Amino acid sequence: MSTPVAPLYPVMYEGLVRAALLEDLGRAGDVTADACIPVETQARALFQARHAGVVAGLAPALSAFSLLDPSLSVRTLVADGAHVAPGQAVAVVEGAARPILSGERTALNLLGRLCGIASKTAELVRAIEGTGAHVVCTRKTTPGLRALEKYAVRVGGGSNHRFGLDDAVLIKDNHLVAAGGLRATVERARAHVGHMVKIEVEVDTLAQLEELLTLPVDAVLLDNMTPATLRQAVDMVAGRLITEASGGITPETVRAVAETGVTLISLGWLTHSVTNFDIGLDFESL
C-alpha cells in the first residue's frame, strides 16, 4: 500500500487559481453565462473521468468555484490518489449555475493536467516495481504550477527532485565550462554551501565518473547513457553515491534503466509534455 501524500495548504495554490480565473474572466466577467442564464438558476454538475487513471489536484481545481461563490456546495467523491474507471464521478458542485459555468474551464484545466501527471507517474512506478529504483520529476515544469505538478507526481507514487535553484547544488556541463573543470567546480561548491546542502554532478562518460568518485559529492547524474553503460557506472559507484539516470528515458525503456541498479530515474517530460487527462463537467437536470 502506498503512503498517503500530505495535502497542499490552500495558501499554496489559491493565488494561482485566482490568477487563472482573472485571466479567463477578463474585464467584463463571463458575458455568456450572464447573458444566457437567469441569476436565480440553480444547477448540479458532476466531474466525471472519461478514461481510467489516477486523480490528483481536486482541492486546487475545486477551489475555483469557492473563490467565485463561497455559497456553492463542492463535494469530492474520491480522494487524490484514487484509481478511477471511465465514467466514474470524482466530484459534484451544486448551487448557482452562473459561477459553476464561469469556473468550469479553470477547474478542468487544473484537474486534467494534474491527473495526467499522476496517472503517467503511476504507470511508470508500476513498470519498475521490484527494482528498487524511484521515479522522480525535474524542474521542467509549467511556470507557476511547479508546486502543484510536483504534488501530482507524489500522488502518482513518484518522488520530487529539487524544487528550485535554492535547495541543492546540481553542477551540469555549462557550470563546468564556466567554472574551469570538474575538480575546481566541486571544490568551490563544497567550500561555499552549508553542511545541509547536497551536491550532485552531471557526467556524460565513465571517465568523468572516475574522476568524480575522488571528489566530495553526494550524487551523480548519469546523463544519456545506455543501460549497459549505466550498469558499468553503478558498479563503479559501488553504493558510494546516489545514482540518477536521466535523458531520453521512455515508458518503453524505463524498466531496462531501472534494472541497471540506479537509485533514481528522472524524467522531464513527466511534467512538461504529459498528456492531459480527460475529465468532463456535466450538468444534471434538477
Catalytic residue, chosen from 94, 104, 149, 202, is 202
Q: List, as one string, the DSSP characters of 95-123.
A: EEHHHHHHHHHHHHHHHHHHHHHHHHHHH
Question: Is 172 an annotated catalytic residue?
Answer: yes
Question: Is 244 an annotated catalytic residue?
Answer: no
Helices (H), 82-238: 97-127, 146-155, 173-179, 182-192, 206-212, 227-237
Q: Nearest 5°: phi and psi at 38?
A: -55, 145
First and final C-alpha spacing in the chain: 40
- CA-to-CA separations, 85 to 54, 109, 197, in angstroms, rounded: 9, 20, 43
Q: Nearest 5°: phi and psi at 147?
A: -60, -40
The three three-digit cell numbers of residue 212, written as one number: 568524480
Question: Is 190 an annotated catalytic residue?
Answer: no
Catalytic residue, chosen from 18, 24, 69, 105, is 105
Query: Is the Cα torsion angle 255, 259, 263, 268 positive or negative in sign?
Result: negative
Coil vs helix vs strand at 154: helix
Which among 40, 72, 35 has a CA at the least distance from the CA of 281? Answer: 72
Question: Is 259 an annotated catalytic residue?
Answer: no
Contact 140, 247 (CB under 8 A): no
Catalytic residue, chosen from 172, 183, 188, 240, is 172
Catalytic residue, chosen from 139, 140, 162, 255, is 140
Which among 189, 256, 191, 207 has a CA at the least distance from the CA of 227? Answer: 256
Question: Is 223 an annotated catalytic residue?
Answer: yes
The residue assigned the cell 509549467 is 142
Query: Is the Cα torsion angle 122, 126, 132, 138 positive or negative in sign?
Result: negative
Any idea which residues carry the catalytic annotation? 105, 140, 172, 202, 223
